[in-house]
Amino acid sequence: MQIEFIGAFNIIVGVLVRFWPVWLGLAIVLGASFAYKKRLGLYGQLFDSGVGIAGVVICLFWLFTAIFASTIAPFDPLSQIPVMKDVLPGAIEPASKGVYLFGGDKLARDIFSRMVYGSQIVLIIAPAATGFALMVGITLGLPAGYYGGKIDTILSFLANLVLAFPVILLFYLLVTPGIMDTPIPYAMAGLFFLFPIIFFSALFWTRYKNRPDRIYLLLGLTLVIGGWIYAGLVFDADPLRIVHIEPNQLNIFVAVVFASSPGVFRIVRGLTMDIKTRDYVAAAQTRGETPWYIMLWEILPNARGPLIVDACLRIGYTTILLGTLGYFGLGLAPESPDWGTAIKDASRLLRSFIHPALPPTIALMSFVLGLNLLADSLREQSMKD
């Protein structure tokens, strides 16, 4: 069957048109951000530099791409049309007259659609896993830096023990297919996913323990929402199936939290040891505030700058790590549209067909670049503050 093609100019126009929800979302968010940047605190300060604007635009681009993936992608990322196997960019599918804008892969799937849907996997796992790692690192790093002594010695030893282990080998052991059939990932998930509940419960209790009208409401919401998410993630027991994660994704999630938490712990511990010597901490101690109140409401807010910068960088590292795991065929399913798996599939025929490897590679590189630019701008702003 003869395959028809469209020209390079039409391919570019077609790609730009497919991303119309992204352009609309960017226009609304950026317009509002510029109009109200003086009221938006640290986020608004990002728009005072070109680096910050570039980082925000790139990150928002992929965020809106993940949100509107079903609208942007012209084909199902898993659907195979045999006649479109390894077709070049701009090929027109004979039956539906849809265009494979970036061509087809070796299994006759649309590369453009797979790149778009791959953003969903990255933007779900990387930020969420980084958020849980922050919760674990903060919850353990604050008492280690504040109390010192045996608590610091024990927690620092455990953190250094994990950091001393080779990262790639650690992930290979945690994400290898055989471990999915064991209770190890679920036991680790059950432990790590408790930390957000503990953190927010302690946060609200130390602040509002003398105000029953607020404390019972906030603790109730924390336990109900946290318990619901915990049951869905660890036991897959959410009846509404809103909170659900596949076993292979859970493995990756747990592995990222386990490997990232010690780094966050060391940063929080160092910041706490420095900040606890400040005058406002001594003033809080003089007022008779509890240690956990001082840690959560005096020290942590003043450590937010470095932690936000580290979170942006860590999301970028996690994105690269997901790509690396996908490239080696670990973690996600073989048919997954994640960028790492797409690069691996394309690399096997790289000498014959280069076009399947370029879109996921550029997507991965651009997202990490956006996060790094965002982190650089945040670092500059935090130094000014």
Q: Which CATH class is domain 120-320?
A: mainly alpha
Cβ contact 232:242 at 8 Å: yes
Going by C-alpha positions, the residue among 330, 163, 331 that lies closest to residue 258 is 163
Cβ contact 206:296 at 8 Å: yes
Quote the percentage of the chain above a pLDDT of 70. Answer: 96
CA 76/CA 271 separation, integer angstroms? 47
CA 104/CA 110 separation, integer angstroms? 5
Q: Answer yes or no: is pLDDT of 198 > 80.
A: yes
Strand, coil or helix: what is 100? strand
Average of pLDDT values for 86-102? 88
**Mean residue pLDDT across the chain:** 87
Backbone angles phi, psi at 165, to 5 degrees: -80, 135
Tens-place pLDDT, residues 147-182: 989 999 999 999 999 888 877 777 777 777 666 667
CA 91/CA 218 separation, integer angstroms? 56
- What is the pairing mode between strands 99-100 and 4-5? unpaired
Tens-place pLDDT, residues 129-153: 899 999 999 999 999 999 989 999 9
Q: Answer yes or no: is pLDDT of 88 > 90.
A: no
Average of pLDDT values for 108-128? 90
pLDDT value of residue 144: 95
Domain limits, the chain = 4-118+349-384, 120-320
Tens-place pLDDT, residues 264-313: 999 999 999 999 999 989 999 999 899 999 999 999 998 888 898 899 88
